């Protein structure tokens, strides 16, 4: 599972099994975090890939 967080406020921008790039995230949210309006880009977005509980 992949979780993408806003590096500024920690808001969860994406959570799921499909892998997305920071670019996709930025596109999805029009380039800004919906919570804190931090500009999203490759450097401003945290990605955590969590692999647990594989079925």
User: Would you tell me which residues interact with Zn ion (CB under 5 A)?
Assistant: 6, 8-9, 11, 33, 35-36, 38
Q: Enumerate the β-bridge partners of residue 47.
A: 4
Considering the complex, state which of residue 11 and residue 28 has its C-beta at the smaller distance from Zn ion: 11
Considering the complex, state which of residue 19 and residue 36 has its C-beta at the smaller distance from Zn ion: 36
Considering the complex, state which of residue 23 and residue 46 has its C-beta at the smaller distance from Zn ion: 46
Residues sharing a CB contact under 8 Å with residue 22, sequence separation 6 or more, in sequence order: 4, 40, 41, 42, 44, 45, 47
Least distance (Å) between residue 50 CB and Zn ion? 19
C-alpha angle with apex 5: 17 to 16, nearest 5 degrees? 10
């Amino acid at each position: 599972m992949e979780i993408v967080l806003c590096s500024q406020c920690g808001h969860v921008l994406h959570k799921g099994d499909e892998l997305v790039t920071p670019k996709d995230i930025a596109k999805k949210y029009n380039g800004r975090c919906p919570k804190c309006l931090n500009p999203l880009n490759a450097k401003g977005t945290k990605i955590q890939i969590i692999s647990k509980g594989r079925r």
